[in-house]
Structure 1
C-alpha cells in the first residue's frame, strides 16, 4: 500500500496559522489511533512532513488503520522552541477541537508524544488533564524528565506502553510556567 492509498484531511483556523487536527486513513476496517503531539509543522490534508511520515509508519506497523493527530499547541511552526515567543501558541479553539475529536473517537487509544519541547508550560499540561483524564494514555517511552518521547527520536521497533501524567514534576522544573 503506497502513499496514494492514504486519504488525508485537516482542519485549520481561518487565518491559516493554526491547525486544529489532521487525519490520515489507509484502512477504515482497522481501528484508529489518536496522537497528541507538541505542535503542528507543515503537514496538511495532502502534504506530509517527517514527523507525520514517522507517525503513520509506526501506527501502520502496530495494526491501526487511521491516525488522528492533535496537538498541545495548535500554532504551526517547524521549530517548537519558537512557541514561547509567539502570541497565543495554543490557539483560541484548540481545546474545543481537542474535545470534539476525542469525543468522536471514544474507543481509540491515545498516544502522547510531545517530548521535552511540549513540557515548557506546566499550566498547559494542567489544562489538558480534564480532557484526557478518562482516557488511557500510551507513549513510546519517556524523556529523563518524564515527558512522553517524541516519535522522531525512537527506533522503528518502538512499542506503545502505558504512560501516566507527572504534572507535579513538570511544574517543578525550572523554566516551566
Structure 2
C-alpha cells in the first residue's frame, strides 16, 4: 500500500509530511546549506524513532483496538475485530478458516484488511470464517474432527447482521476437501435470511470470491453473483405462502 502524505509542515531546516493512512510514518525532508549549495535528504520516522534504510518503508496502517472470540480451548476462533481511526462504516469479512491472529496480534491477512479499511473508509472490521477451526494452513481442515465449529453459524449470523457491508473472500472451493466444498451455501443462506447483499473484491475462475491477500489495493467491493444452488431465496425476497 502506498503512503498518502499530508500537507507539509515547514520548519527552518526541515519539512515534515505525515502519512494519512494511519501507519504513523512521518517523512522528514531535511535541507541544509553547505559550500554555497543546498543539500537535501529524506528521513522516515515512526513513534519518535528513525527508521533505518535508504528506501521508503512500507505503509502498514494500524488498528486502534481489537478483540476476538475463541472457544474455551482456543481451537476455534469465531470472531475477530479491529477498530480503525476515524468514522466510517462497519465491514464484515467472511473468509475460509481461523488463523493465529488474536486479540492483539495481526497476521498478513488482517494487516491487508486494515489497509483496505483505511483506504475504503471503514471504522471497524469484523472477521468471520466458513470454518472456525484455527489453522495456519488450510490443510488442517482435513484432519479436524469438526472444522466448522459448534457455535460458528450463530456468530456468523451476528457478524453479518452487525455490518454495513459484507465482503466474502474464501477463495476457490477446489482447495477444500470435497466434503467441505458446499459449506459456502450455508453462509449465503444466512445472508439471504438477513436481507444482506454479499460483496467481493474479485472472483476466482470458479466464480467464488478471491481471498483479500490475492488482490491489489485498487480493488473496490462489488456485488458477488453467487453460483447457483437449489432452493435459494435471494436477499430481499420472501417465499410465497
Task: Note the alpha carbon deviations across 1:67-117, whole angstroms, 9 max, x for none.
Answer: 0001100000011122122110000000011112223x15x1000000015
1:1-177 residue pairs with structure 2 within 5 A? 1-2=22-23, 6-27=64-85, 29-103=87-161, 105=162, 108-117=164-173, 120=176, 121-133=180-192, 134-168=195-229
Question: TM-score with structure 1 length normalisation?
Answer: 0.86
How far has the Cα of 1:119 moved from its partner?
6.8
With 125-134 and 81-90 compared, the bigger mean Cα shift is at 125-134
Please state which structure has a larger fraction of its residues in strand: 2
SS in 2 for 1:38: strand
How far, CA to CA, are the matches of 1:142 and 1:167 in structure 2? 15
| RMSD, matched Cα | 2.0
Which sections of structure 1, spanning at least 5 residues, go unmatched? 169-177
With 78-87 and 35-44 compared, the bigger mean Cα shift is at 78-87
Which sections of structure 2, spanning at least 5 residues, go unmatched? 1-21, 24-60, 230-241
Are the structure 2 counterparts of residues 118 and 72 from structure 1 closer, same or farther at C-alpha, using a change threshold of 3 Å? farther
The aligned length equals 167
How far has the Cα of 1:135 moved from its partner?
1.0
Whether the 8 Å CA contact 2:78–2:128 is kept in 1: the answer is yes
How far has the Cα of 1:62 moved from its partner?
0.7
Kindly indicate whether structure 1 or structure 2 has the higher relative contact order, using CA contacts under 8 Å at least 6 residues apart.
1
Please state which structure has a larger fraction of its residues in helix: 1
